Structure 1
């Protein structure tokens, strides 16, 4: 737990100015509340003593004490506001950085997509587990720093007058301050159980909704609902266990703060005139401590949730990269001829080989058609060429340079892939296109749209490039969505284009029109066209058929 939480704090280093400022604001706010009760206690103790001189040097009776009291009363709400403002701003900034870091780690470890990973669980890690980390700062570190400053200040104030009530006051409060750490191991186990149950519930909900048509067609909604109910019950049980532990911690913390109050009150009653001032001051300070330490019982549960969230985040983020970048990358190649020599590849040791000694050459400017039924490795070949996976044997070169020695980002600037199920995101047309070239001006976007023969349609839309595509591109027909995806691919500066079943899901006439557009739009680039069959409009310079893990020349 400690290592995970320290690592989280390390990832927040770039926000340390905000985080430290928030801690300082929390301490200042807590000490302002303490000062308010110190001054009130000073005035009351002086009054009870019948006009004796002030106990504290800074606050005597009469006008001076009242002026100090008024100043602190006015300052305290300002300090509370600054604390909320700064601590929440620090938290929002730190969590935003955390989400970006986690997304980048996932992107490097899941380049070919989620695959067999549970999408709902990963979504939970990206959202809920990251959000649980706000408790580490807002409900653990800030209250702990404020409470510690209050306990130390109280012990110093009362100890300056009489060490006995200072000890009676400080010891139970120090125990209350350390209580969350004592209860943390058991709470962390319960927090991890809650986090696992939340991930299972999200997966149980997301999976049938993702394939809702299939779920309904198979009359599977009752089974899906039963599974959701079972996972929900498991989550409720885990949450009850964590809440029960938090309640015990809260009760113990309240008992300790009440013990400090009762001890101070008993001392004040038994001390007589000589110890009356110190006793009354201890009573007032114990009241202030109850407010400051009142947040600490929740700190145990927050610490548990943050530790569980951190562990789940690092579990996913620290998975090995399938194809890590080389420690000493080679110089980028001058050309873009592709060559595969003796490539052997299987997705897992216990799965059959996809390629066994595959040889393939794509000279600069060539248009190679790869044919074959599903399962022959056409999409796998594309994944290898973009370093989404690495061959177990053999060599792949681009411009004579082994792609294993190139950073993935450099390779993907030179090789672009129009995937079989190319997705349009729920954003504007312009934003979807700029995935391939973030800094592209509108003129380049229109040029790519025109080359994909979809520019006139976009111009006819009232909002033009700012038209929302809808989730998965539902705003457009299948053929229109494929042309928009093609425009995105054409916007890339890549010299090599891999077009994976580019007309999948289109009717025969739309397929022929789209493939004819491809032939015209990709002129001047090397093209690997992955297809089940040829329609006669593709005009490849070479036709190969994938079979038995090899590429065999074919007539068509």
Structure 2
């Protein structure tokens, strides 16, 4: 069974809560897009010397954005804590049924690494992949309608958004896959070495093996740091590319103002800023 599918099955008891959190996130994102669109119109109108009356839609969108954003944070994180609690119960149950109360015939360091790293990392599956992924699916038609309404030329920015929101995260997952596995194995090895040295400290002192044990721990630590540096370097390069593409999209929207007028350019810049910010949470 696919590991992701297995995790989703473990979350089955919390599906409705997780779905409600995702809906709140989408509603907050929609309110943010409406807010930025109206703010862009208001800003462009004020620059062009129009009547400075704050529209009701701008006020309502601002209030809705704040309230929905707060509820989204509250519900999604609470749902994630509940889901992680279920995963921990499943993990401890399997561990206890395996051998000698769960730890007697296992590497304690490896079990500790699973408890601390692997379970905690699962929050990213929901908060950084599922919810932002749904946001991208909702943003694409919204951007298509809004940008087309402002200017047909503004649709030229959509390919850049697709690259930042879809292509770069997919590429990051491909690049980081092997390296993340190496980093996880290296971290488990470091924990094993450290716990072995501490649990057998009496024997280590008797045989004067402190230097060898320290060298082994330092070697494992160097492997962990090397894997983490390589992973961070790859992700950083993709983040730089994403940032440059996002800024290029905003610059392109500004240049559209020479064709379609300042109103369309300002609204497009505001909307695209909100859109690129929304997908910035994706790995």
TM-score normalised by length of structure 1? 0.48
Q: Report the 3-state secondary structure (helix = DSSP H, G, I; strand = E; otherwise coil) of the residue aligned with 1:15.
A: helix
* Contact 1:121 1:200 (C-alpha < 8 Å) held by counterparts: yes
Cα deviations across residues 342-369 of structure 1 (Å, max 9, x unaligned)? xxxxxxxxxxxxxxxxxxxxxxxxxxxx
The partner residue of 1:258 within 236, 247, 255 is 247
User: What RMSD in Å do the two structures reach over aligned CA positions?
Assistant: 2.2
Residue 153 of structure 1 is matched in structure 2 by: 142
The partner residue of 1:176 within 161, 164, 167 is 164
Unaligned runs of 5+ in 2: none
- Count of aligned positions: 282
Residue 75 of structure 2 is matched in structure 1 by: 86
How many angstroms does 1:112 deviate by?
7.1
Cα deviations across residues 256-298 of structure 1 (Å, max 9, x unaligned)? 21121111111112334xxx432321111122123212222xx
Evaluate the alpha carbon distance shift between residue 289 and residue 118 of structure 1 in structure 2; reply closer, same or farther with a 3 A threshold: same
The partner residue of 1:66 within 55, 59, 70 is 55
* Contact 1:103 1:126 (C-alpha < 8 Å) held by counterparts: no
Q: Report the 3-state secondary structure (helix = DSSP H, G, I; strand = E; otherwise coil) of the residue aligned with 2:2.
A: helix
More strand by share: 1
Distance 1:138 1:157 in 2: 27
How many angstroms does 1:74 deviate by?
2.8
Residue 232 of structure 1 is matched in structure 2 by: 221
Q: Report the 3-state secondary structure (helix = DSSP H, G, I; strand = E; otherwise coil) of the residue aligned with 1:117.
A: coil
Distance 2:37 2:209 in 1: 67
* Contact 1:124 1:202 (C-alpha < 8 Å) held by counterparts: yes
* Contact 2:128 2:281 (C-alpha < 8 Å) held by counterparts: yes
* Contact 1:151 1:289 (C-alpha < 8 Å) held by counterparts: no
* Contact 1:36 1:69 (C-alpha < 8 Å) held by counterparts: yes
More helix by share: 2
Residue 126 of structure 1 is matched in structure 2 by: 115
Evaluate the alpha carbon distance shift between residue 106 and residue 95 of structure 1 in structure 2; reply closer, same or farther with a 3 A threshold: same
Q: Which has the higher contact order (CA 8 A, sep 6+)?
A: 2
Within 5 Å, which residues of 2 pair with 1:441-480?
none
Structure 1 or 2, whichever has the larger Rg, is: 1
The partner residue of 1:75 within 64, 73, 76 is 64
How many angstroms does 1:201 deviate by?
0.5
Cα deviations across residues 229-261 of structure 1 (Å, max 9, x unaligned)? 111110000000110111012112112211211
The partner residue of 1:95 within 59, 62, 84 is 84
Distance 1:37 1:208 in 2: 57
Distance 1:170 1:6 in 2: 32
Distance 2:160 2:79 in 1: 32
Within 5 Å, which residues of 2 pair with 1:14-25?
14-25=13-24
TM-score normalised by length of structure 2? 0.90
Distance 1:109 1:73 in 2: 54
Distance 1:204 1:96 in 2: 28
Within 5 Å, which residues of 2 pair with 1:491-502?
none
How many angstroms does 1:7 deviate by?
2.3
Residue 196 of structure 1 is matched in structure 2 by: 185
